[in-house]
Amino acid sequence: MTTSFMSSPKYLFTSESVAEGHPDKLCDQISDAILDAIYAEDPYARVACETAATTGLVLVMGEITTQTYVDMPTIIRDTIRDVGYTRAKYGFDNETCGVITSIKEQSPDIALGVNKSLEAKAGEMTEDETIEMVGAGDQGMMIGFACTETPELMPMPIMMAHKLCKRLAQVRKDKTLTYLRPDGKSQVTIEYHYGQPARIDTVVVSAHHDPRATHQQIEADLIEHVIKAVLPAEMLDKNTRYFVNPTGRFVVGGPMGDAGLTGRKIIVDSYGATVSQGGGCFSGKDPTKVDRSAAYAARYVAKNLVAAGVAERLQVELAYAIGVARPVSMAVETFGTAKIPEAKIVELVKEHFDLRPGAIIRDLRLRRPIYKPTACYGHFGRTDIDAPWENTDKADLLRKEAGLG
């Protein structure tokens, strides 16, 4: 969204989410389950774990340097089982699928920059400070965002889409709707008036199901037990459109219906395309990879600034160079909602947030096995998981420093 939408009398915007049984999301969960298992024993491991899945087969590949051993095939099969692929008639299940692993150590050339940053090599830091002078594990741009549309300080379309997919999993697992299977998608279109959410215009839910269930039954059940159970009634009206399994059938799903791959749902993982998107995915990467850790830090910065009242909508872009600790650039965009000059906001960020990778890892306590729960329903706006980047512990200080009370 641009500044112009804030002055538009009517503006439609859509975001999507996918269920935990979606083939790409299944791969994200497998990659993060392996990361968590390694981090539980070796929090200084270097992990870049990618997963691919297709009919009857899972391939895990990547670069992992660690002092511990984990049973990857068991972790993979346990994750598939927990998601719900437990029967061969689904076309993919935890017991009969093939599992292939192809793992090597992290490139020594990359390790040169991560083990000791350019600044530390140049002698710019004291010996104690070099502990936190881990170099960025890659170049790239990372985006953080927050806004006042929801209590979680997230865009409303993506939060609504996530809630629909979580509800799909809930009614499947608690047997409210016994014919549901693990795959699924949701999409929510919000109508904005002058930058504020006014109503839900369109809802799309596609749910993987048993072939014996009729379309009429699925449509009625999902509107009652999923859509109206989680979406606010005051946002729905007689003109809201509902599309449930629009093709009329969704029997072939999961890796049988579509090949899956780690990192292919980066819009779902972040802000639903409300703002710019960083270049890398999150899942399967340890926090020396700034694709993940700096994206979490950027969200932490943006959320604290919005919670402090500095702006109603705020985007932070960070950029890094491989092997260099400090960001090479930082940009702030407030879409015309800033209460103080944006130059002052940049000063506040530089003064109160240490955005070197080592400091991010320290301050957000990222050397812990906390990653698998992030692999579904978004990495941001989460109150149901251990997500330190969602804390607003600096909001009061920032409000005071900004002169806002």
DSSP 230-293: HS-GGG--TT-EEEESTTS---S-HHHHS-EETT--HHHHTTTTSS---SS--TTB-TTSHHHH
Residues 6+ apart with CB under 8 A from 380: 145, 152, 154, 270, 271, 299, 387, 389, 390
At 272, list the tokens.
């639903």
Please give the pLDDT value at position 405.
77
**First-to-last CA distance in the chain?**
29
Residue 394 a catalytic site member: no
Annotated active-site residue 250? The verdict is yes
63 has catalytic annotation: yes
Indicate which residue of 46, 77, 163, 264 is catalytic: 264
**Among the listed residues 339, 5, 333, 3, the one whose alpha carbon sits nearest the alpha carbon of residue 195:** 5
Helix (H, G, I), strand (E, B) or coil at 316: strand
- Sign (positive or negative) of CA dihedral 391, 130, 62, 277: positive
Q: Which residues contact 226 (CB under 8 A, 6 or more apart)?
A: 164, 167, 168, 171, 205, 207
Q: Could you confirm whether 24 is annotated as catalytic?
A: yes
For residues 49 and 30, give the distance between their C-alpha atoms in angstroms, rounded to a whole number. Answer: 9
Q: Average pLDDT of each block of 10 consecutive residues along the chain (405 residues)?
A: 75 97 98 97 94 96 93 96 92 93 75 50 52 70 97 98 98 97 97 94 97 96 97 96 96 93 96 90 94 96 98 96 89 95 94 93 95 97 96 96 88
Residue 178: C-alpha distances to residues 17, 217, 245 (Å): 22, 12, 17
Structure tokens at 330: 């930082």
Q: Which one from 20, 36, 50, 390 is the annotated catalytic residue?
A: 50
Q: How many CB atoms lie within 10 A of CB 363?
A: 17
> Among this protein's residues, is 121 annotated catalytic?
no
**Contact assessment for residue 375 and residue 283, using Cβ atoms and an 8 Å cutoff:** yes
Q: Is 386 helix (H, G, I), strand (E, B) or coil?
A: coil
Phi, psi of 219 (to 5 degrees): -60, -50
- Quote the CA–CA distance of 300 and 364 in Å, as a whole number: 9
pLDDT at 113 (0 to 100): 47
The sign of the torsion formed by the CA atoms of 374, 379, 382, 387 equals positive
Is there a catalytic annotation at residue 352?
no
pLDDT at 279: 80
Q: Which of 401, 162, 156, 398 is nearest to 300 (CA)?
A: 398
- Within the chain, how many helices (H) and strands (E) appear? 13, 11
For residue 117, give the 3-state DSSP assignment: coil
Shortest CA distance to 114 belongs to which of 329, 297, 260, 323? 323
Active-site residue 89, yes or no?
A: no
Residue with tokens 């530089």: 350
pTM: 0.93
**Sequence-separated (6 or more) residues with CB below 8 Å from residue 274:** 1, 13, 15, 145, 147, 155, 157, 158
Of the residues 28, 93, 191, 291, which is catalytic? 291
In the residue annotation, 291 being an active-site residue is answered as yes
Tokens of 282: 């999150």
Instruction: Give the strand order in the sheet containing 46-54.
Output: 98-104, 57-65, 46-54, 260-261
Active site residue 350: no
Asked if 144 and 128 touch (Cβ cutoff 8 Å), the reply is: no
Catalytic site includes residue 220 = no
Establish whether 25 is a catalytic residue. yes
Query: Residue 185 catalytic?
Result: yes
Query: Exactly one of 16, 20, 24, 269 is catalytic; which is it?
Result: 24
Q: What is the DSSP letter of 5?
A: G
* Beta-carbon contacts of residue 8 (< 8 Å; ≥ 6 apart): 192, 194, 195
Q: List pLDDT tens digits, range 296-336.
A: 999 999 999 999 999 999 999 999 998 888 899 999 999 99
Neighbours of 67 (CB within 10 A): 9
